[in-house]
Amino acid sequence: MIVSPGVETLQKLVAHQIHNLFFLSATESAALDRVLPAVLQKTEVCFRGSSNKYYTKDGQTFFSVYHSGQYCIFLYFLAREVFLDRSASRDLADKVYYLNKALNSLDLYYEVEMPPVFHLDHPLGAVLGRAVYGMNFTFSQQCTVGNNKGVYPCIGDNVQMLSGSKILGHCHIGDNVVLAANAYVKDTDIPPDSIVFGSSPDLTIKARKAE
Protein backbone atom coordinates (compact mmCIF):
# COMPACT_ATOMS: atom_id res chain seq x y z
CA MET A 1 0.00 0.00 0.00
CA ILE A 2 1.20 3.49 -0.84
CA VAL A 3 1.11 5.73 2.24
CA SER A 4 1.35 9.42 1.38
CA PRO A 5 3.41 11.33 2.43
CA GLY A 6 4.95 8.31 4.18
CA VAL A 7 4.74 5.96 7.16
CA GLU A 8 7.24 8.00 9.15
CA THR A 9 5.13 11.13 8.73
CA LEU A 10 2.04 9.15 9.74
CA GLN A 11 3.77 7.95 12.92
CA LYS A 12 4.83 11.48 13.84
CA LEU A 13 1.41 12.95 13.05
CA VAL A 14 -0.55 10.52 15.23
CA ALA A 15 1.85 10.93 18.14
CA HIS A 16 1.82 14.72 17.77
CA GLN A 17 -1.99 14.93 17.67
CA ILE A 18 -2.46 12.67 20.69
CA HIS A 19 0.24 14.49 22.67
CA ASN A 20 -1.26 17.91 21.91
CA LEU A 21 -4.75 16.88 23.02
CA PHE A 22 -4.10 14.40 25.84
CA PHE A 23 -0.32 13.99 26.34
CA LEU A 24 1.54 10.89 25.23
CA SER A 25 4.00 9.00 27.38
CA ALA A 26 7.11 7.30 26.06
CA THR A 27 5.51 3.92 26.82
CA GLU A 28 2.40 4.86 24.86
CA SER A 29 4.49 6.14 21.96
CA ALA A 30 6.33 2.81 21.84
CA ALA A 31 2.99 0.97 21.84
CA LEU A 32 1.79 3.01 18.86
CA ASP A 33 4.93 2.10 16.94
CA ARG A 34 4.53 -1.56 17.87
CA VAL A 35 0.95 -1.94 16.61
CA LEU A 36 1.33 0.25 13.51
CA PRO A 37 2.35 -2.54 11.07
CA ALA A 38 -0.76 -4.59 11.95
CA VAL A 39 -2.94 -1.48 11.69
CA LEU A 40 -1.60 -0.64 8.24
CA GLN A 41 -2.20 -4.21 7.11
CA LYS A 42 -5.85 -4.04 8.23
CA THR A 43 -6.21 -0.61 6.66
CA GLU A 44 -4.89 -1.93 3.36
CA VAL A 45 -7.37 -4.84 3.37
CA CYS A 46 -10.21 -2.41 4.04
CA PHE A 47 -9.14 0.09 1.38
CA ARG A 48 -8.53 -2.63 -1.19
CA GLY A 49 -12.22 -3.48 -0.97
CA SER A 50 -13.28 0.06 -1.87
CA SER A 51 -14.39 1.16 -5.33
CA ASN A 52 -13.72 4.79 -4.41
CA LYS A 53 -11.26 6.28 -6.89
CA TYR A 54 -9.30 7.96 -4.10
CA TYR A 55 -8.36 4.61 -2.58
CA THR A 56 -6.16 3.48 -5.47
CA LYS A 57 -3.28 5.08 -7.32
CA ASP A 58 -1.22 3.62 -10.14
CA GLY A 59 -2.90 0.26 -9.63
CA GLN A 60 -2.03 0.10 -5.92
CA THR A 61 -4.02 0.63 -2.74
CA PHE A 62 -3.52 4.25 -1.69
CA PHE A 63 -3.74 5.87 1.74
CA SER A 64 -3.46 9.63 1.95
CA VAL A 65 -2.88 10.71 5.52
CA TYR A 66 -4.66 13.97 4.66
CA HIS A 67 -7.81 12.32 3.29
CA SER A 68 -10.13 12.67 6.29
CA GLY A 69 -12.27 9.62 5.47
CA GLN A 70 -9.24 7.39 5.06
CA TYR A 71 -7.63 8.74 8.21
CA CYS A 72 -10.89 8.16 10.07
CA ILE A 73 -10.87 4.46 9.19
CA PHE A 74 -7.18 4.19 10.05
CA LEU A 75 -7.79 5.71 13.50
CA TYR A 76 -10.55 3.20 14.21
CA PHE A 77 -8.23 0.30 13.36
CA LEU A 78 -5.47 1.93 15.44
CA ALA A 79 -7.66 2.31 18.53
CA ARG A 80 -8.94 -1.26 18.20
CA GLU A 81 -5.45 -2.72 17.71
CA VAL A 82 -4.23 -0.89 20.82
CA PHE A 83 -7.25 -2.28 22.70
CA LEU A 84 -6.48 -5.82 21.50
CA ASP A 85 -2.79 -5.50 22.44
CA ARG A 86 -2.81 -6.66 26.06
CA SER A 87 0.50 -4.96 26.78
CA ALA A 88 -0.80 -1.52 25.75
CA SER A 89 -2.74 0.70 28.11
CA ARG A 90 -6.51 1.12 27.89
CA ASP A 91 -5.93 4.86 28.26
CA LEU A 92 -4.07 4.91 24.93
CA ALA A 93 -6.99 3.20 23.17
CA ASP A 94 -9.28 5.82 24.72
CA LYS A 95 -7.05 8.61 23.47
CA VAL A 96 -7.05 7.34 19.88
CA TYR A 97 -10.83 6.83 19.98
CA TYR A 98 -11.28 10.34 21.35
CA LEU A 99 -8.95 11.75 18.70
CA ASN A 100 -11.08 10.18 15.96
CA LYS A 101 -14.21 11.61 17.57
CA ALA A 102 -12.63 15.07 17.81
CA LEU A 103 -11.34 15.12 14.24
CA ASN A 104 -14.20 13.42 12.42
CA SER A 105 -17.26 13.70 14.70
CA LEU A 106 -17.61 9.92 14.48
CA ASP A 107 -18.50 7.89 17.56
CA LEU A 108 -17.10 4.45 16.76
CA TYR A 109 -15.79 2.81 19.92
CA TYR A 110 -12.85 0.43 19.70
CA GLU A 111 -14.81 -2.36 21.40
CA VAL A 112 -17.20 -2.36 18.43
CA GLU A 113 -15.97 -4.96 15.93
CA MET A 114 -16.30 -3.67 12.40
CA PRO A 115 -15.88 -6.08 9.47
CA PRO A 116 -12.51 -6.23 7.68
CA VAL A 117 -14.01 -4.19 4.84
CA PHE A 118 -16.38 -1.31 5.58
CA HIS A 119 -16.97 2.03 3.94
CA LEU A 120 -17.90 5.54 4.99
CA ASP A 121 -18.72 8.75 3.21
CA HIS A 122 -18.83 12.01 5.19
CA PRO A 123 -19.24 10.26 8.57
CA LEU A 124 -19.92 13.47 10.52
CA GLY A 125 -22.31 12.95 13.38
CA ALA A 126 -22.59 9.17 12.95
CA VAL A 127 -22.87 6.90 16.00
CA LEU A 128 -22.23 3.17 15.53
CA GLY A 129 -23.06 1.01 18.54
CA ARG A 130 -22.34 -2.60 19.47
CA ALA A 131 -24.22 -4.27 16.64
CA VAL A 132 -23.06 -7.17 14.48
CA TYR A 133 -21.88 -5.70 11.18
CA GLY A 134 -21.58 -7.63 7.91
CA MET A 135 -18.97 -7.22 5.19
CA ASN A 136 -19.06 -4.08 3.07
CA PHE A 137 -21.17 -2.17 5.56
CA THR A 138 -21.47 1.45 4.38
CA PHE A 139 -22.68 4.53 6.24
CA SER A 140 -22.90 8.29 5.75
CA GLN A 141 -23.44 11.38 7.88
CA GLN A 142 -25.76 11.36 10.91
CA CYS A 143 -26.38 7.60 10.81
CA THR A 144 -27.15 5.80 14.07
CA VAL A 145 -26.91 2.13 15.00
CA GLY A 146 -27.96 1.56 18.58
CA ASN A 147 -29.80 -0.50 21.16
CA ASN A 148 -33.33 -0.62 22.43
CA LYS A 149 -33.65 -2.09 25.93
CA GLY A 150 -30.11 -3.40 25.65
CA VAL A 151 -30.63 -5.30 22.38
CA TYR A 152 -28.57 -4.35 19.32
CA PRO A 153 -29.18 -5.03 15.61
CA CYS A 154 -27.62 -7.73 13.46
CA ILE A 155 -26.69 -6.32 10.07
CA GLY A 156 -26.00 -8.47 7.00
CA ASP A 157 -23.51 -8.06 4.18
CA ASN A 158 -23.53 -5.17 1.71
CA VAL A 159 -25.87 -2.99 3.77
CA GLN A 160 -25.86 0.73 2.98
CA MET A 161 -27.09 3.41 5.38
CA LEU A 162 -27.75 6.70 3.62
CA SER A 163 -27.65 10.03 5.45
CA GLY A 164 -29.65 10.30 8.63
CA SER A 165 -30.83 6.68 8.66
CA LYS A 166 -31.16 4.74 11.92
CA ILE A 167 -31.25 1.08 13.00
CA LEU A 168 -32.21 0.46 16.61
CA GLY A 169 -32.97 -2.54 18.76
CA HIS A 170 -33.99 -6.07 17.86
CA CYS A 171 -33.47 -5.91 14.08
CA HIS A 172 -32.07 -8.36 11.58
CA ILE A 173 -31.13 -6.51 8.42
CA GLY A 174 -30.73 -8.86 5.47
CA ASP A 175 -27.96 -8.79 2.87
CA ASN A 176 -27.94 -6.16 0.12
CA VAL A 177 -30.28 -3.75 1.91
CA VAL A 178 -30.28 0.03 1.39
CA LEU A 179 -31.72 2.30 4.05
CA ALA A 180 -32.91 5.46 2.35
CA ALA A 181 -32.05 8.88 3.77
CA ASN A 182 -33.71 9.40 7.17
CA ALA A 183 -35.19 5.87 7.28
CA TYR A 184 -35.78 4.74 10.88
CA VAL A 185 -35.87 1.01 11.58
CA LYS A 186 -36.67 -0.08 15.15
CA ASP A 187 -37.22 -3.65 16.32
CA THR A 188 -38.02 -4.75 12.75
CA ASP A 189 -36.51 -7.40 10.49
CA ILE A 190 -35.75 -6.34 6.93
CA PRO A 191 -35.61 -8.97 4.17
CA PRO A 192 -32.56 -9.16 1.89
CA ASP A 193 -32.40 -7.27 -1.40
CA SER A 194 -34.61 -4.44 -0.15
CA ILE A 195 -34.78 -0.65 -0.10
CA VAL A 196 -36.29 0.78 3.10
CA PHE A 197 -38.14 4.09 3.43
CA GLY A 198 -39.99 5.76 6.28
CA SER A 199 -40.09 5.02 10.00
CA SER A 200 -41.07 2.02 12.09
CA PRO A 201 -43.73 0.75 12.42
CA ASP A 202 -44.87 2.37 9.14
CA LEU A 203 -41.99 1.34 6.90
CA THR A 204 -42.14 1.05 3.14
CA ILE A 205 -40.01 -1.86 1.93
CA LYS A 206 -39.40 -2.28 -1.78
CA ALA A 207 -37.54 -4.99 -3.64
CA ARG A 208 -34.11 -3.92 -4.80
CA LYS A 209 -33.25 -4.67 -8.40
CA ALA A 210 -30.25 -6.92 -8.90
CA GLU A 211 -27.19 -5.01 -10.05
- pLDDT tens column, 131-144: 999 999 999 999 99
Q: Are 73 and 128 in contact (CB under 8 A)?
A: no
Cis peptide bond prior to 123, omega within 30° of 0 = no
Domain ranges of the chain: 2-105, 118-207
Residue-level pLDDT at 11: 97
Per-residue pLDDT, 209: 80
pLDDT value of residue 16? 98
Residue 210, pLDDT score: 64
Point out the residues of the chain with pLDDT beneath 70: 210-211
Domain covering 118-207, topology: UDP N-Acetylglucosamine Acyltransferase; domain 1 (2.160.10)
Q: Which residues contact 177 (CB under 8 A, 6 or more apart)?
A: 156, 158, 159, 160, 190, 191, 192, 193, 194, 195, 196, 208
